Amino acid sequence: MQIYWYGETCFKIQNSDRTILINPDSPRKAGLRGPNFKSDLLLLSDPNEEKETEKKITDETFLISAPGEYEVKGVFIEGIPFKSQKKTTTLYRLVFDEISFGFLGPIDDLLEDEQVEKLGTIDVLFLPVGGGDVLESKTAEKVLNSIEPKIVIPHSYQVPGLKTSRDKIESFLKKLGKKEIEAIEKFSLSKKELLQNFSKEEIIILQPKVL
């Protein structure tokens, strides 16, 4: 499968026959172009964004925007409620092609023990790190340590053209004691590669995809 990032909290995860799109309007709200394609499965962290995504929904698209358990086209999804003083959103656990994903969208605080338990064992974690109205580096590190995934894909940090105030990715890497990591256009992964090449908290930096 391949994973692409479109800026902010927007990602595409796809294999040869299924496409998952997450939060397609978040890049546009921050001054980026964002994606413009249909998907088999559409996940939204905020149910209030349903109306804004109507053009991306076809008869074949399954929309999920609230907590609950779902199984769609061989993909298992669990939506987990998140609420802080300033935000109410949905976290997601996905199992796709035998790989478990934890998607933390625009969260701004630590997770509760129950939320960590529901996320369970995570192979690939999508984690906001850029500060402002999402986690900053110090808190993001604490969330990361509470989940202990094999792979971490940071998001919601400063990129060219972004109109929202965010920290640079270097702030997060420095907090983890990591040197500069070269960004890649897409991340390809299979269950076999996961088992052979990844053990704990490997950081993958994606270039935001410009259409």
Q: Report the domain count for the chain.
A: 1
State residue 179's pLDDT score. Answer: 86
pLDDT (tens digit per residue) in 66-118: 999 999 999 999 999 999 988 899 999 999 999 999 999 999 999 999 999 99
Q: Which domain holds residue 79?
A: 2-203
pTM reported for the whole predicted model? 0.94
With 0-12 / 13-18 / 19 or more C-beta atoms within 10 angstroms meaning exposed / middle / buried, residue 61 is middle
Domain contains 117: yes
Q: Which CATH number is 60's domain given?
A: 3.60.15.10
Q: Rounded distance, CA 140 to CA 70, Å?
A: 27
Cβ neighbours of 148 (radius 10 Å): 12
Domain contains 158: yes
Domain contains 208: no
Domain contains 210: no
